[in-house]
Amino acid sequence: MLNIHISRYVALHRSLGRKFSEQERMLRLYAAYAEEFGDRHIQVQRIYDWCHTASSQNVARRRFDTVRNFSRFIQADDPVYEVPPVGVFGRGKRPRPTPTIIEPEQVRAIMTAALDVASQDTISPYTYHYLFGLLAATGLRISEALALQCNDLVEDGLIVRNGKFGKQRLITLQPSTRRALEAYLATRARLGATGNDLFVTIRGRAPHKVRAHVVFVRLARQLGYRGPTGTAGMRLHDLRHTFAVRSLESCPRDREAIAHHMAGLSVYLGHASVANTYWYLEATPVLLRDIAVASEELYRGEAA
């Protein structure tokens, strides 16, 4: 019985574009454990017992959260299924860090410094220079940018084939961004760099995303934009944050315009839900201040 409901639950999530393989594996393991005791329905104590057999606290928490989410789903159809209280095995996710907004002159300085990453007669410094520029100009995830192929640059923009949850999308490019990518391709040809990946190192393959993160942080520290090792500060992903925040800052203060802008930005950024885009409103002090001011003006207008 449990496995039938699990199949339905997994199919639902996969219809939304999620792989859901790890969650399915855990749910099948729980079902096998519960069925050894003859359970036909989810029981809270059985969930606790199963989670206590985990090899670590982190594994126990993941097990608990996965089965609890499933139990909430199935209880909507049949109240006989029990749902445990939230957080019994701890909170797994830390709050998302407040984004660091990178100023245009800082982006330019990092891009310039990237040209000194390696010898000028190799493609690598140009790769990081143009890679960081593309991230700043489009808000792409680093994984998406590094998965780009040369033929993904088309007349209408860039085809992002390796988006989150396996989604594909087309993003438009500003003329200056297109010219920059064409200049990079010309530099690749001049230096004899090969490979199908758009951004390549001397080995003809895209750099690993960890390497891109390391290069960016090192340059940020070199320029004084980030503190010493072990301290928090500007990250490569903040280029995406900055793109989103600047886009929202430019939106007219009109409720309908904001709603349309948020929906469009959510699609452009490849968010699975528009709620992920709205996070930038509450995570960014300047936007939060603007929201407070607009709300106060609205209240005063209605009170009058």
- Sign for the pseudo-dihedral over CA of 198, 200, 205, 211: negative
- H/E segment holding residue 185: helix 175-191
- Smallest CA-to-CA distance from 283 within 87, 70, 98 is with 98
Catalytic residue status for 271: yes
Of the residues 13, 28, 164, 246, which is catalytic?
164
Nearest CA to 214 among 117, 140, 109? 117
Cα 111 from Cα 35, distance rounded (Å)? 58
Contacts 24+ apart (CB under 8 A), 215-219: 215/114, 215/117, 215/128, 216/110, 216/128, 216/132, 219/110, 219/113, 219/114, 219/117
Query: Which residues lie below 8 Å from residue 66, measured CB to CB, with a gap of 6+?
Result: 23, 26, 27, 30
- From 129, 141, 188, 241, active-site residue: 141
Specify whether the CB–CB gap between 67 and 26 falls below 8 A.
Answer: yes
Is 241 among the catalytic positions? no
Q: Active-site residue 25, yes or no?
A: no
Distance (Å, whole) CA 193 – CA 199: 10
- The reply to whether 218 belongs to the active site is no
Question: Active site residue: 237, 246, 261, 278, which one?
Answer: 237
Q: Confirm whether 164 is a catalytic residue.
A: yes
Nearest-angstrom CA–CA distance, 174 and 138: 9
Q: Residue 230: what are its φ and ψ, rounded to 5°?
A: 100, -10
**E strands present in the chain:** 153-154, 157-160, 169-171
Is 240 considered catalytic here?
A: yes
Catalytic residue chosen out of the listed positions 81, 130, 268, 280: 280
Among all residues, which ones are annotated catalytic? 141, 164, 237, 240, 271, 280
